[in-house]
Structure 1
Amino acid sequence: MAHDVVRIGIVGMGHVGPHVASALVNWGIVDELYVSDIDEDKARAECLDLTDSTAFAPRPARIFDVGADYEALTRADIIINTAGDITKVATSRDGELYGTTDIARTFVGRIAAAGFEGFWINVSNPCDVVTRLVHELSGLPASHVLGTGTSLDSARLRRAIAQKTGLSIQSVDAYMIGEHGASELAAFSQVSIAGKPLHELAAERPEQFGFSGDEVERDGVLGGYDVYNVKHCTEYGIGAAAARIAAAIVRGERAVLPASVRLDGQYGQSGFYISTPAVIGADGVEDIYELHLTDTEHERFLSSCEKVKHNYELVREHAVRVS
């Protein structure tokens, strides 16, 4: 039997976009991939390079170069936004605040006007702010718009815990929550391995599990800069994170993944995007899980919420000034 054709578009083919595309092709997630960039020569070259890679992919995939013809992306089931300027995040993910939001305004509305009814996955930073803007410009339900948020930060946290314990990263259940940025935090009280809370394991085997949250949270918050300060970009991890979220949607997985989603009463907060574990499936964001945080963790999460809301107000004021 023929399967449904999966169509995915990517806006922005700088460092991250091509790695998202490569993961989608090499994991066998996509049948038709549409690549878009304002630098049409770059988009064309990436299209050719990706097409060459399909000879080794697990299933056939066709790659289409649409350049800056954003309306062509309405053919896609999912559009992934990676457009931005990586050089502006050298010291903070907020460095792209005005640039990425201005860029998003050049294409999200056009795509909406052309009739796009699928899903948006935003990667561009500051992720929570840009994701909220994409939601507002798209006219889509909040469940159809989400960001990679702390998905990669959570992977970095899990990697740090795996290195401390000597276990595989796949065996660690742990989440970074809040802003994808400096105010995010490790929900350390909720870390578990084999269904057993880390604090119980620490009491039983302090030599293996008796480390503090501060020791591993640092990698979740700043691990990206360990890479950026040498490579001047991060690409593999975030490319895989975006592809993983896309896979959960197109396969209807109902996978629990950390992502930037619009809160609707969780943690006593509503109306803006920030990261927490969410159920992601065929209908996009199908449920949002509120973790049982300690008082200190809850206070830090609320502080992170205020940071994200403040940044969005700055963007709103900027739009009024330049309009």
Structure 2
Amino acid sequence: MAFKRNKIAVIGAGFVGSTTAHWAAQKELGDVVVLDINEGAAIGKSLDLMQAAAVEQFDTNVKGTSNYADIADSDVVIITAGMPRKPGMSRDELVGVNAKIVKDVCDGIKKYAPNSYVIVVCNPMDVMAVYAKQLLGFPRERVLGMGGCLDSARFRANIAEALNVSVKDVTGIVIGNHGDAMMPLVRMASVSGVPLTDLLPADKIAAIVQRTKTGGAEIGGHLKTGSAYYAPSRGAVEMAEAILKDQKRVLPVAVELNGEFGVNDKLMVGVLARIGGKGMEGIIDLKMNADEKAEFDKSVEAVRVLVSALKNVN
């Protein structure tokens, strides 16, 4: 019987999509298909990446295309396609624009990769993840949002910088909304097992939390045009790797909640979940104190308000 490699489809050949393909190919997670309505961009970037393989020495096939038939039988599909928020554009307007893109993408996934695991990266991520889940009709185990992996990476990086320690020794997770109402779990953050609260005063920790919440805006402010792409793409590939290698990683990801933490209206909210070969294989029952639960409820409400914008999508 012929050997079948894993197959990863990346939808969108912009900065996030092309960098996602780069990480996945370099890590040899499987063959990669990059799909974009701009076929030239998808093919050109894929060809460039294939030529880099000769230097970096990775054996991965990378193909660029504009044809959804080329994503057939993908094991994981990562949705990065979407427009960035432009100056003066309301969040509701962005929802309307990107919902149309996500609908087309989900139509292609349903037709050609109906058994895939889907990771949503495009913004507003909370809303687009909910919309993709609705459109696809896949079980919640197979549709996940990436935001928590990115936010947690920023949290850990900020802690490491503040303490001048290796980020390898920092533990820190962020749950809830992928936006201003995100919830860095300060009580559970540590460096080599030492609680963050033992290492920094409250005002320094508050500054880290705030910088984490505004991390995307900070990067966007420096770039002037565009947004972050290295860390978001790596977060998505971290999730894909956990699925493809059945790693049973415990990661902060957005998943549809069906009663967990008191959320019953099919919102996709960032929580800690075990990610393996069956996708989302279980939600970790975090024991939040009263203050944390109140903050989490506010974060959930922020997701609920954002998702309400979908009612205006045709």
TM-score (structure 1 length as normaliser):
0.89
Identity in percent: 28
Structure 1 residue 93: deviation in Å? 6.9
Does 251-260 or 291-300 show the bigger shift? 291-300
1:188 corresponds to which of 186, 189, 193: 186
> For the structure 1 residues 45 and 29, does the alpha-carbon distance in structure 2 shift closer, same or farther, using more than 3 Å as the test?
same
Deviation at 1:259, TM superposition (A): 1.0
Structure 2 distance, partners of 1:292, 1:157, is: 20
1:252 counterpart SS class = coil
Change over 3 Å in CA distance of 1:152–1:229 after alignment to 2: same
Aligned equivalents of 2:33, 2:113: Cα separation in 1: 17
Summarize the alignment of residues 1-323 of structure 1 with structure 2, pairs less than 5 Å apart: 4-30=4-30, 32-67=31-66, 69-88=67-86, 96-114=94-112, 116-199=114-197, 202=198, 208-212=199-203, 213-231=205-223, 232=225, 233-270=227-264, 271-315=266-310, 317-319=311-313, 322=314
Following the alignment from structure 2 to structure 1, what is the Cα–Cα distance between the partners of residues 90 and 21? Answer: 26
Q: Which runs of 4+ in 1 moved over 6 A?
A: 89-95
CA displacement at 1:58 relative to structure 2? 4.3
Per-residue CA deviations over 1:115-154 (Å, capped at 9, x if unaligned) read 5211001100111111111112112111011011121111
Contact 1:94 1:126 in 2 (8 A): no
Q: CA shift at 1:59, angstroms?
A: 3.2
Query: Which residues of structure 2 form unaligned runs of 5+?
Result: none
Once the two structures are superposed, residues 70-106 of structure 1 have per-residue CA deviations (whole angstroms, 9 ceiling, x without a partner) of 2331321101000111243888877632221111111
Shift of 1:305: 0.9
Query: Alpha carbon RMSD of aligned pairs, Å?
Result: 2.2
Cα displacement (A) at 1:214? 1.4
Quote how far apart the aligned CAs of 1:266 are: 2.2
d(CA) in 2 for partners of 1:95, 1:228: 19
Aligned length: 310
What is the rounded CA distance, in whole Å, between the counterparts of 2:119 and 2:69 in structure 1? 17
1:176, 1:220 within 8 Å by CA — same for their partners in 2? no
Q: TM-score, with normalisation over the residues of structure 2? A: 0.91
| Counterpart Cα distance in 2 of 1:291 and 1:85 | 34
